[in-house]
Structures are given as structure tokens and as C-alpha cells.
Amino acid sequence: MNKIEAKNVDVYYGAKQALFDINMDIEANKVTALIGPSGCGKSTFLRCLNRMNDVIDICKVSGVVKINDYDINQKDTDVVRLREKVGMIFQKPNPFPKTIYENISYGPEIHGIAQSKSEMDNIVEESLRKAALWEEVKDRIHEPGTGLSGGQQQRLCIARTISIKPEVILMDEPCSALDPIATAQIEELIDELRKEHTIIIVTHSMSQAARVSQNTGFFHLGKLIEVGSTDKIFKNPTQQQTQDYITGRFG
């Protein structure tokens, strides 16, 4: 079943067109990787899926993006509800300069998810466990989240995102600021998370795309060149450009 369907999506930054007529379906409970040379519009496309491009004044998005068959680009779409359903992890870990506990309790708090203190405690613990961080921080959840290592901070951000149980999680190069061990931990986590969430991950590492994803889309100069199962894209692509990119001939 398709969780997300993008149809004829164009994006402009001012007069400059960043995405050209993107059509892409994204399957539920799978990891979809977006690859391509930098500046090709991967992040831009990702940000179309939770309307984060709204924040950029000069950015104009047109086309249809359906999530659960509902077009999120309508005028009266409630972006707060949308972002509650579609969480996002950024390239650089960005925990709030607050305690670990407060980082995670923030989402449930503003969305009124927890009814009591003990319920909140449970959500915090469960989220940290799912993000494979609980064992490392359980003795210091009231210390600042910014005091953690880079990899831990990124898992904290993942815990923060899953605390409100989004259906979709967008990840924009979540490992590019991390060392190989932290990267391996996050990759393992992604595979675990896909049971409950649909995941779309932007990565510039083709080996990472091959390791974590079931489907892959290849972008080049603002166009979606090819999309299909990761196996097929890496072993037997139909487009010459895809072939060139994955064999490292450009990009």
C-alpha cells in the first residue's frame, strides 16, 4: 500500500526551480532512500512531505502530495497535525538546550498526549528505549541533552520524534555528522523503526542506501531519474545516469 503519493511536484526558490515534476510513490513500513549528487533537491523534496518548506519565504511548492490519500498541500491543511504525523530528523543533531527528559516530553506536552506525570515518564522511557538510548542515559535523564555525544544526540532527536508516534519519519542525512560506530547504531535503529513507521531517508552514501533501504529513488538536477526497489536500482538500473552514479562515474 502507498503511504505517500507525490504528483507533479514543482518547487521554486524565488525564480530558481529546484524540483521538476516529481512523481513518486512511497510504500508504508518500508525504508525509502533518496540518493543523488548534492544540490539535486533531495532535502527539498523531503521537506515537501511535512511542509517544512513553508518556513522559507521564497520557497513555492506546487503539485499534489497525498499522505494516507489526503492532499497536504491544500490551503486549510493543519500543518501542526501534519507534522505530528510526519516527524523529521535533521542532518545536524538539534536537541533543545534542555534536559534529556524535557527534550522528549515536549512533543507529548504540546499535543496533549500524556494525561499524568507517570504516563509522561512512561512515554519518555519507552521513546528512549526504542531509540536504543535508554541504557546509556537512564541515570542522567535530568541532565542537559546537549551534553551527550553526537551519536547520542541524534538518537535523542529520534526518541523525541517517536515520542508522539508519527506514522512517517523523514531523515535528512541523519548520519553525516557521525562517526562509523554511531552510524551503525542509527542504521540498526532505522531497520527496527520501520516496523511501526514509514521511513524516508536522504543519504549521500550509496552503501548506506543499499544497507538500510528497501526502495531507492535517484535524483539528479532536480529531477527524479529513477525509482524502484533498492536491489534493482543498484544491480540493474534502467537509466544510464543511474548506472553512472552508482558506479561512481559522476556525482
Ligand X SMILES: Nc1ncnc2c1ncn2[C@@H]1O[C@H](COP(=O)(O)OP(=O)(O)O)[C@@H](O)[C@H]1O
Compute the C-alpha angle 229/232/234, nearest 5°: 105
Amino acid occupying residue 82: L
Distances (CA, A) of 183 to 67, 118, 177: 29, 33, 9
Tell me which residue of 64, 66, 136 sits closest to 100, measured CA to CA. Answer: 136
Tell me which residue of 245, 219, 239 sits closest to 42, measured CA to CA. Answer: 219
Tell me which stretch binds other proteins (CB under 8 A): 61-69, 107-115, 193-201, 206-214.
107-115
219 vs 234 by CB, closer to Mg ion: 219
Site string for ligand X, 2-21 (x = CB under 6 A): -----------x----x---
92 vs 140 by CB, closer to other proteins: 92
Which of the choices Mg ion, ligand X, other proteins, none does residue 155 contact, using the CB cut-off of 5 to 8 A by kind?
none
Of residues 32, 43, 152, 161, which one binds other proteins by CB under 8 A? 161
Q: Is 15 in the site for other proteins (CB under 8 A)?
A: no
Q: Phi/psi at 40 (nearest 5 deg)? A: -90, -5
- Do residues 171 and 200 make contact, with C-beta atoms less than 8 angstroms apart? yes
Tell me which stretch binds ligand X (CB under 6 A): 42-50, 74-82, 126-134, 142-150.
42-50
Tell me which residue of 61, 56, 57, 59 sits closest to 77, measured CA to CA. Answer: 61
- DSSP of 196-226: TSEEEEE-S-HHHHHHH-SEEEEEETTEEEE
Q: Is 44 in the site for ligand X (CB under 6 A)?
A: yes
Tell me which stretch binds other proteins (CB under 8 A): 23-31, 85-93, 190-198, 206-214.
85-93
* Contacting positions for other proteins (CB under 8 A): 50, 52, 55, 57, 80-84, 87-88, 90, 92, 94-97, 106-107, 110-111, 146, 157, 160-161, 164
* Contacting positions for ligand X (CB under 6 A): 13, 18, 36, 38-44, 56
